[in-house]
């Protein structure tokens, strides 16, 4: 059975005139690295809120369809029960840290669940090491950089040992270099710890190479879905206004000029460079 299964989901915010999510169905398997992209206001964030039950429990509104995450029906279970299975990381790192020290913030979820101090300590230290912020664990959130803050946010959901980590544009407040570091942390968690990752992101240049499942949304619906290379080479993707990786674009231009490059469209500049070097030999 799939880890996340959504069937004919339609949701309208209270007071909304048209649905933010309109008849969406898809499956996410365990261990996948899923990338969700699409123009602003296409329902990506709303979809993220569905994964841990913030929609409909926190936001109310009208919901239809079925949604099951880790075998739990999110319409019937509260967010705090789902928090053990789904970790949600938000866009603004500042507004998701509430404690006066980083360590305490990472422990926040575990404290809520009522874990014993010894176990908590072990999990907190593990999460801090995984995200590379162990050395700054006693600092206060406003003393550290945005990139570090976002890593704290990741650590704090990681400490709960969730099956799925959902990240809603986690790098939109960060520069490219810190963003890249965040993506590397996420990718490592996916590969080494086997955690399923759902990443909502515009920067496909940096992220497409990590994903093995790409979903393109537009106006509350899923327009395209599948293997990233296929989706990104599809002409329809371009019309929606998705930032296709430059390497993929260049590949297609060269292809059009009958440059023989092999049949696998590249997702980042390194892959493309390899292909060009191969062709020039």
Partner 1 sequence: MSVFDGLKFRRVNSLIHNLDPRIKFVYVIGVFIATLLFLQIIPLLALFVLQLPFVFLARVQRQWLRSLRGAAFLASFIFLINIATNFFVGGYTLTPEVVESAAAMTLRFVVLVESFSVFFLTTSPDHLGLALEQSRVPYEFAFAFTTAVRFVPVLAEEAQTIMDAQKARGLELEKGNLLKRIRNYIPVLIPLIVSAIRRSLELAEAMESRAWGACKRRTNLYRLCLHRGDYVLLGITVAILAGAIYTYFFVSIPTIVNLL
Is residue 264 involved in binding partner 1 (CB under 8 A)?
no
The dihedral over CA atoms of 160, 183, 90, 13, expressed in degrees to the nearest 10, equals: -110
Could you give the string, one character per residue 132-151, with x where binding to partner 1 holds by CB under 8 A and - elsewhere?
------x-xxx---------
Among 96, 131, 150, 207, binds partner 1 (CB under 8 A): 96
- In a 10 Å sphere around its CB, with 0-12 CB exposed, 13-18 middle and 19+ buried, how is residue 275 labelled? buried
Among 19, 38, 43, 109, binds partner 1 (CB under 8 A): 109
Among 8, 98, 238, 260, binds partner 1 (CB under 8 A): 98
Among 66, 81, 184, 236, binds partner 1 (CB under 8 A): 81
Is residue 42 involved in binding partner 1 (CB under 8 A)?
no
Is residue 104 involved in binding partner 1 (CB under 8 A)?
yes
Starting at the edge strand that comes first in sequence, how are the strands of the sheet with 62-69 ordered? 21-28, 4-12, 62-69, 72-73
Stretch touching partner 1 by CB under 8 A, among 78-86, 183-191, 211-219, 246-254 = 78-86
Q: Which is nearer to partner 1, 46 or 237 (CB)?
A: 46
Distance, CA of 248 to CA of 74 (rounded, Å)? 37
Is residue 99 involved in binding partner 1 (CB under 8 A)?
yes
Q: Nearest approach, Cβ of 100 to partner 1 (angstroms)?
A: 4
Q: Nearest approach, Cβ of 116 to partner 1 (angstroms)?
A: 7
Structure token pair of residue 173: 């407040």
Q: Is the dihedral of CA 202, 204, 209, 212 positive or negative?
A: positive
Q: Nearest approach, Cβ of 46 to partner 1 (angstroms)?
A: 12
Q: Nearest approach, Cβ of 181 to partner 1 (angstroms)?
A: 22
Q: Which is nearer to partner 1, 99 or 276 (CB)?
A: 99
Beta strands in the chain (DSSP E): 4-12, 21-28, 33-37, 62-69, 72-73, 86-89, 164-168, 196-200, 213-218, 221-226
Report helix, strand or coil for 214. Answer: strand
Is residue 80 involved in binding partner 1 (CB under 8 A)?
yes
Q: Contact 203/180 with Cβ under 8 angstroms?
A: no
Is residue 115 involved in binding partner 1 (CB under 8 A)?
yes
Among 64, 66, 73, 100, binds partner 1 (CB under 8 A): 100
Distance, CA of 226 to CA of 256 (rounded, Å)? 24
Complete DSSP assignment for 42-55? SSHHHHHHHHTTHH
If one counts every other C-beta atom within 10 angstroms of the C-beta of residue 183, the result is 20
Among 36, 63, 124, 231, binds partner 1 (CB under 8 A): 124
- Measured at the CA of 130, the angle between CA 128 and CA 135, to 5 degrees, comes to 40
Positions touching partner 1 (CB under 8 A) are 49, 52, 54, 58, 79-81, 83-84, 87-88, 90, 92, 94-101, 103-104, 107-117, 120-121, 124, 138, 140-142, 156-157, 160
């Amino acid at each position: 059975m799939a880890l996340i299964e959504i069937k004919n989901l339609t949701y309208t915010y209270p007071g909304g005139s048209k649905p933010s999510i309109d008849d969406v169905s898809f499956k996410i398997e365990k261990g996948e690295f899923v990338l969700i992209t699409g123009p602003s206001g296409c329902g990506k964030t709303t979809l993220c809120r569905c994964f841990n039950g913030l929609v409909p429990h926190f936001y109310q509104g009208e919901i239809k369809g079925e949604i099951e995450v880790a075998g739990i029906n999110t319409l019937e279970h509260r967010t705090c029960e789902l928090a053990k299975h789904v970790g949600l990381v938000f866009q603004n790192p500042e507004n998701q840290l509430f404690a006066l020290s980083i360590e305490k913030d990472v422990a926040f979820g575990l404290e809520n669940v009522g874990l014993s101090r010894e176990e908590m300590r072990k999990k907190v230290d593990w999460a801090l090491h995984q995200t590379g912020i162990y050395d700054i664990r006693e600092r206060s959130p406003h003393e550290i950089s945005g990139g570090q803050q976002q890593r704290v946010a990741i650590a704090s959901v990681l400490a709960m040992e969730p099956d799925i980590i959902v990240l809603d544009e986690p790098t939109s407040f960060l520069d490219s270099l810190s963003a890249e570091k965040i993506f590397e942390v996420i990718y490592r968690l996916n590969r080494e710890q086997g955690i399923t990752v759902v990443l909502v992101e515009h920067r496909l240049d940096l992220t497409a190479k990590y994903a093995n499942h790409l979903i393109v949304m537009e106006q509350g619906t899923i327009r395209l879905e599948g293997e990233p290379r296929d989706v990104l080479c599809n002409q329809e993707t371009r019309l929606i206004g998705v930032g296709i990786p430059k390497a993929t674009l260049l590949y297609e231009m060269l292809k059009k000029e009958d440059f023989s490059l092999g049949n696998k469209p590249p997702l980042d500049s390194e892959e493309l460079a390899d292909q060009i070097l191969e062709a020039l030999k």
